[in-house]
Structure 1
């Protein structure tokens, strides 16, 4: 059936078809979420286990290795990454992409359950969760109030603000950073404990048993069943202080006889500053599948309503990763419109007819808008990848219509009526239009099936391009001939060739007369273009130029929160002096109780701080990389502080790992590699996980004396833990108030925790009664690794190198030639991770996609032309196009990166 002839004869159904497609496309576009990148679900599972107070070396042996060995046999496993730090182990299992994510989670959970009994009993139950790529904060605010103190404001954030924002659709979590947490402190006096023969664990345990509220059974009274509860709790701190209970040695004691009880705030383990002023902050993350733009707008609206209810609140936005997403969306839409306008201008330049140009130009919106139907059906979002696909094909979408219109114009010049010209020209050119369209589909479709993480992104790219190109075919075969038949006019004047046509014809005739010269020139151009490739810088993704960046500070292990505060303020002062810096938001520590330790601003250690720096808008400042370079120069003056500058996204850093079983050989190789890395010109800071050692106090039990007095090592450890940091959170008793529970923390007072002699006088439970700790154990200073990194069950050292504008490919090549890399000792291996690994995967994937595309083009053309040789005459245009692309990249100084590969496709 000739659909073009049908639409010309029946214009109303054709018009109504595209009216419906346009309406459905607009509705689909409106329903699609705006995101920066597509939401990916990777089969990557993390296992987190914690044992507060345990050293990394201990956790590596007792926890990490056992979890790794349990996970290693799982089917489809690709890599195991392990990070061990003070009190915590995180094992990340990366599976091959073909494994379903939920199946990976279930397999890991089952494996962990099998070894749970082999882990130390004190270890909290490991938490198994799949990796959430949308878990980074998208917005942060600081809050002030004249009517609330710091504790009241912190509770207001934990309670009112959190409940309000978690009710907003799309908000995943709200995490407080800075501020304080209310708690009841029971500060024990070690000398009084010694006098009573009581232990810290004894006091904590008895308090938990006395201060409780639990179910007490049921009774049948008056013919009805009545539940019973045991209410053994106090309502005030004064009542708690007067509480009496029996000790394990039979003595009775009132709590205030051995401790000072007060309602106060917990020891500060975090802070938040805005331009140097102490504030309470909170960070917001979105849930998976939610739009950053929609969540950002809803959060702003909810906070405005909250401020109306509480007029004394002063809310300030500390950072905002939503605005860049909106800016990128607006820029992509503008680029799409600009491309459409330029395409129309070019069409008019060649056709020289407004009617013919209008008929051709209609193909643009009527091809793009229906494409949203397919995109929405497959669950795609309006993101950088899908908009890039539409922007790239915008010029292609009018190709079919131009072919149709130009042929109709030719028939009009023969003296035919528009109706007759449209009927005959559309039938004549139908095969060429179909061949062009399916050749383009054959190019784009393979990118939707690329392997690896890059392939997950380009699934949406390939299908979006295919939908738009296929829609352009429907427009060209159904709508364009019909519009030409009723809109275009008969030719009434002699057609004049464009002024450039004689020159083109002369060049064409010359090339046909000198075929061998033309072929040799083409081959030489192609070979020359290949020789240009080594001269072009390569990378993964070009760095962005958003108006915000971050600085990460890391102090030596053992540093206090006060020292981190001082270093962070010094860094902020240096940064604030740099031109185009608007504000600095500083956070350190773990934020509120239960906060996400992986949140952007809420770093989990007191020795680490994050400074989020807001810059002037683009157009009012140099590129962000120039300002970041100035920051590195300024921060180099900070003594004893490691720092990294930049958001750490793709295109901003190079990552390298060394792994080996021999820790001595690994450490020596890491030191040599780090030394050589610093010799590569142009790089920013270089940080590694090696040479980080932590000081610690080692308690060495005297096994003979301990056995004689019936004291166990676990009793010694428990006594010290409760006395210095308090019991585990789940074991703490609570003071029940009307709307909240306040934890009751039992530990030594601050002065006693700083005196080893007083710690030695702590009483430890034994079979024959409490024994002084110093009688069965000794104290000594020791040390060990602050962080242990492992890759595939082997220790490794990770390097992070700030590219600082140097192309990733250039750094990768330079690293491969370093003497320390070339001459790695036996048993130590180099492993590329991060962008370098993904870049290699990307090059391989695009090469496969392009070769597949070329093969598919050939097959399509053979089927359409019914000839094996004729399609080959078309392919030189494909091969020679690479030369123009490479030459353009070289002249403009741009990298051969992911956007460049997209353009080549």
Structure 2
């Protein structure tokens, strides 16, 4: 895992170099493979955006040439683009921004905006030259004449994009650099159009403004100009008709606007659009109480089933670690072939995998897909909160039963599972208090015995330090009789001043029972998290049906629900955006 603030791509390059160096030191037959490298997706995304930026710049300059009809005017105007980009990069460096997908996307979006001001200034200067003014006077008067209009246009764009960079919530963290970069780039381009463009126009006269028909590509330019003139005449006719029939024009505009509002509910909503990065993740669990070995066997069955698909390159799994806490929980990462090498997209394959894994007994798929911007791979999440765990269990079961009827809702899962076998230690507070033992002291005494504690470090021959941890053997940790004999130190002392030890059974009742694997809490209340994915519908539509279903449940007093994860982030982001 890279350190905070470090560059992912640079760190990945360093790791690859170290892996290659380590490979040379390994014995024959042993090979190191990199199973997951997020820097590849980052590099591909950045390269695609760079390509889009270059394409946009070239097309913009070509269009400018067609409209202005002069290479010299195109050069004078086009210089705004690289200079504005260089100035924007300088601003990004000063602001602590990085060149990433977000900032490159901002520059790609505003390529046309960067040259707008220069086109307006240059066109007005050309108009003054054609009216008979010398180039110096035309540059001065032409720029002054449209300065206010250019300022108004530029600051209007800034007023639109700058607030995007200061929105609250997770969407604000995503688009802070985006909004600020666009605003800075547009302001820099305006400065260039007011300084460099008039200066070049005054000292670099364009003979093409006075000589027509002698240039290369003259026929193409003449053909394009005739097309623009026909379009202008058509526009003039439509404009004249609209001015003569103002009521009709306004009525059509109003009807179009309000009619479009009725289409909004028909458009699906989601927090982050799905993308195909040739990777997907599958979360699954086995029945509560399943051993680590049995879960591993099921995971191998799942991986064998996935390996049958030609789109799958490889897969690897983690059990009881990371996001898959618990011996019956596993998370499988599936690396697919590159998108151009397969006909099916990741969303289609997710559904294929989901259908296939349903046929494996003893395995329940809880999630399929990659985490989104909110860090969740489930499209819909909400939490039930209350004080009584049994009541929460009942409400959770009822909610899941109702939610299963919602079209498009899949992979429904809850954090509160069936109880698993546990050994419960119930402290007898009065007896413990009489002996001078508190609940905290008992917990501190049992934690290293049951969970383990690092007591030292060991330096291996490779000069790496490893923690040395000790705890009771597994058999003793599960045996009630052995646990009851554990000695607990009291606050009393014997004649030698040493603490008096008492067996655990003297201050606590130890029983074998069942209990929940995880008890969630939030805001001093117990909590159950329920999550699901969507298929065939947008997350916003499904979330609306979930809300309607939960409202119909009429939760008892003291119990409530609230959306979280991607659903919460999506709702907050839409509010901030509007």
TM-score norm. by structure 2 comes to 0.84
1:259-300 Cα distance to aligned partner (Å, 9 max, x none):
xxxxxxxxxxxxxxxxxxxxxxxxxx1111111111111111
TM alignment of 1:550-629, pairs within 5 A: 550-590=281-321, 598=322, 603-621=324-342, 622-629=344-351
Q: 2:416 touches 2:517 (CA, 8 Å); kept in 1?
A: no
Look up the SS of the partner of 2:44 in the other structure: helix
Relative to total residues, which structure has the larger helix share, 1 or 2? 2
Look up the SS of the partner of 1:499 in the other structure: helix
The aligned counterpart of 1:378 is 95
TM alignment of 1:768-807, pairs within 5 A: 780-804=511-535, 806-807=537-538
The aligned counterpart of 1:143 is none
Query: Residues 359 and 587 (structure 1 numbering): CA distance in 2 closer, same or farther, change over 3 Å?
Result: same
Query: Residues 746 and 521 (structure 1 numbering): CA distance in 2 closer, same or farther, change over 3 Å?
Result: closer
Q: 1:580 touches 1:615 (CA, 8 Å); kept in 2?
A: yes
CA drift of 1:330 comes to 0.9
Relative to total residues, which structure has the larger strand share, 1 or 2? 1
The aligned counterpart of 1:405 is 122
CA drift of 1:340 comes to 1.6
Q: 1:815 touches 1:821 (CA, 8 Å); kept in 2?
A: no
The aligned counterpart of 2:372 is 649
The aligned counterpart of 2:395 is 669
CA drift of 1:509 comes to 1.7
Q: 1:584 touches 1:613 (CA, 8 Å); kept in 2?
A: yes
What is the aligned counterpart of 2:453 among 703, 723, 729?
Answer: 729
CA distance in 2, matches of 1:727, 1:791: 25
Q: Which runs of 5+ in 1 are unaligned?
A: 1-284, 591-597, 848-905
CA distance in 2, matches of 1:657, 1:650: 19
CA drift of 1:436 comes to 1.6
CA distance in 1, matches of 2:262, 2:401: 33
CA distance in 2, matches of 1:333, 1:763: 66
Q: 1:400 touches 1:433 (CA, 8 Å); kept in 2?
A: yes
CA drift of 1:762 comes to 5.7
The aligned counterpart of 1:492 is 211
What is the aligned counterpart of 1:743 among 465, 468, 472?
Answer: 468
CA drift of 1:799 comes to 1.1
Query: Residues 707 and 331 (structure 1 numbering): CA distance in 2 closer, same or farther, change over 3 Å?
Result: closer
The aligned counterpart of 2:184 is 467
The aligned counterpart of 1:458 is 175
The aligned counterpart of 2:78 is 361
CA drift of 1:483 comes to 2.7
The aligned counterpart of 1:832 is 563
Are 1:508 and 2:225 counterparts?
no
Task: Indicate the structure whose relative CO is greater, using CA pairs within 8 Å and at least 6 residues apart.
Answer: 1
Q: 2:484 touches 2:510 (CA, 8 Å); kept in 1?
A: no
CA distance in 1, matches of 2:436, 2:160: 78
Look up the SS of the partner of 1:619 in the other structure: helix
Give the number of aligned pairs: 547
Using the TM superposition, name which of 323-332 and 780-789 deviates more: 780-789
CA drift of 1:692 comes to 3.3
Query: Residues 535 and 297 (structure 1 numbering): CA distance in 2 closer, same or farther, change over 3 Å?
Result: same
The aligned counterpart of 2:497 is none
Look up the SS of the partner of 2:282 in the other structure: strand
Query: Residues 474 and 611 (structure 1 numbering): CA distance in 2 closer, same or farther, change over 3 Å?
Result: same
Q: 1:343 touches 1:395 (CA, 8 Å); kept in 2?
A: yes
CA drift of 1:302 comes to 2.4
CA distance in 1, matches of 2:488, 2:386: 43
CA drift of 1:318 comes to 0.9
CA drift of 1:656 comes to 0.8
CA drift of 1:379 comes to 0.8
Query: Residues 545 and 426 (structure 1 numbering): CA distance in 2 closer, same or farther, change over 3 Å?
Result: same
The aligned counterpart of 1:634 is 356
The aligned counterpart of 1:686 is 412
CA drift of 1:747 comes to 4.0
The aligned counterpart of 1:12 is none
TM-score norm. by structure 1 comes to 0.55
The aligned counterpart of 1:41 is none
Q: 2:452 touches 2:470 (CA, 8 Å); kept in 1?
A: no
Query: Residues 309 and 505 (structure 1 numbering): CA distance in 2 closer, same or farther, change over 3 Å?
Result: same
CA drift of 1:806 comes to 3.0
Query: Residues 362 and 747 (structure 1 numbering): CA distance in 2 closer, same or farther, change over 3 Å?
Result: same
Query: Residues 842 and 631 (structure 1 numbering): CA distance in 2 closer, same or farther, change over 3 Å?
Result: same
CA distance in 2, matches of 1:432, 1:708: 86
Look up the SS of the partner of 1:818 in the other structure: helix
CA distance in 1, matches of 2:372, 2:475: 45
CA drift of 1:746 comes to 6.4
CA drift of 1:420 comes to 4.3
Q: 1:665 touches 1:825 (CA, 8 Å); kept in 2?
A: no
Look up the SS of the partner of 2:270 in the other structure: coil
Query: Residues 776 and 520 (structure 1 numbering): CA distance in 2 closer, same or farther, change over 3 Å?
Result: closer
Query: Residues 642 and 409 (structure 1 numbering): CA distance in 2 closer, same or farther, change over 3 Å?
Result: same
The aligned counterpart of 1:324 is 41
The aligned counterpart of 1:109 is none
TM alignment of 1:214-229, pairs within 5 A: none
CA drift of 1:337 comes to 1.4
CA drift of 1:753 comes to 6.7
Q: 1:412 touches 1:491 (CA, 8 Å); kept in 2?
A: no
CA drift of 1:399 comes to 1.0
CA distance in 1, matches of 2:146, 2:506: 100
CA distance in 1, matches of 2:485, 2:197: 91
Q: 1:543 touches 1:650 (CA, 8 Å); kept in 2?
A: no
CA distance in 1, matches of 2:289, 2:90: 57
CA distance in 2, matches of 1:411, 1:705: 100
